[in-house]
Structures are given as C-alpha cells and as structure tokens.
Amino acid sequence: MSGEVIELTDLTFDKRVTGGEVWFIDVYAPWCIHCRELEPIWETVAGELKGLVNVGKVDGTKEKVLMRRFAADSFPQLYLVDSRERSTRQYSGIRAVEQMVEFARRGYKDVEPLPFYVNPVSTFGRAAAAMLLLPARVHALFLYLHEEKHYGTLPLLAGGLAVPLLAGLLLICAMDTFAQSRLRAIHVHQHMQ
C-alpha cells in the first residue's frame, strides 16, 4: 500500500509544513543509492500514515535553503516535524516500514528535539529562511518587473540601489533625532542641579 509523498521546496515548505500538522520528511539526493533504496519504503510509509501524518520529501541537491535549515550533511536524512509544538526530531533508526511508522505515530516523543538553530519550524529557523530566500525573491521581483511589466534594466537597478539608500538615510535621521533629544534632556538635567 503506497501513499502520496509530497515534494517540498524552499518556497513551499513554510506554507505546507507550518500549518499545525505533523510531517515526516525525507531529505534525499537523486544520485544517492541509499535514497533510491528508501524510495519504495518511503511510499509505503506514506500509505501507512495516510490521514495521521503527512509524508514529504526534499531534494537536498536543489533545495539549498532547507538543507541549511535542517543542517543536513548527508543523505538520506529523516525528520519528524511537529509544527504545533514547533519541534523537529531526527529519525536515526532502522529504515524499515514498521519502525518508521511507529516512530511517526508515537516513538518520536522519546527522541530529544533538535536545538532551535537547526529546527526549521522554530522562530529562528523561519527568520533564517526569510533571510536566505531574500536574494531569490528579489530576483523573482526583478524578473517580474523586467519581463512582465517591461521596465528597463537601468531604472530597476537605480530603484534597487535607491531603496536601501533611502531606508538607511531615514534610519540615520531617526537615530540622530533620538540621540539629540536625549543629549538635550541630559544637558537640561545637568543645568538644573
């Protein structure tokens, strides 16, 4: 009995996985022999867990942000992500259907959760993802404005440089205003003594 294994990407992970459900995720590489051996077993696990736990997979050769978020350094890596608790646990048992299904159903509770800095559903993990995905999102915005809206490259480059410069200038002005008002308050306090 095989079930649906959902392909997760850098761009779809947070939308799919952080919705208050439990996910069992395989981080794999297409060239990895052990990953190919695990694939039919993983599909059977998905069938056994249907309706209880979502089963997904991440191509670690393409999804570099997720590889960093999980701190995965080899293939395959199996993780149980409980977005209700914002916890992630790594499965390191035997790669057989019965053992993996047992782990996903209740055995994961006996395993220590990963620390916050390698937990992809922690606040830190989600913030790191936003920063790591920023260049891809800026590139997508550039392509949209250039190809769909037909803006020229030079105006987009000028706008891309002007926005952070203006934001920095506004930040400096705000900090300068705050610092000067604070200095005036200190100066008035000293004269009153």
Which pTM value belongs to this model?
0.76
Domain range list for the chain: 6-126, 152-192
With tokens 């706008």, the residue in question is: 159
- Answer CATH for 6-126 from 1.10.3720.10, 1.20.140.10, 3.40.50.620, 3.40.30.10: 3.40.30.10
DSSP code at position 148: I
Mean pLDDT per 10-residue section of the chain, whose length is 193 residues: 86 90 97 97 96 96 94 95 94 96 94 93 89 86 92 90 91 85 64 62
Q: How far apart are CA 20 and CA 169, in angstroms?
A: 41
> Residue 141 is encoded by which pair of tokens?
């915005």
Residue 81 · residue 23 · CB < 8 Å = yes
pLDDT in tens, 103-124: 999 999 999 999 998 999 998 9
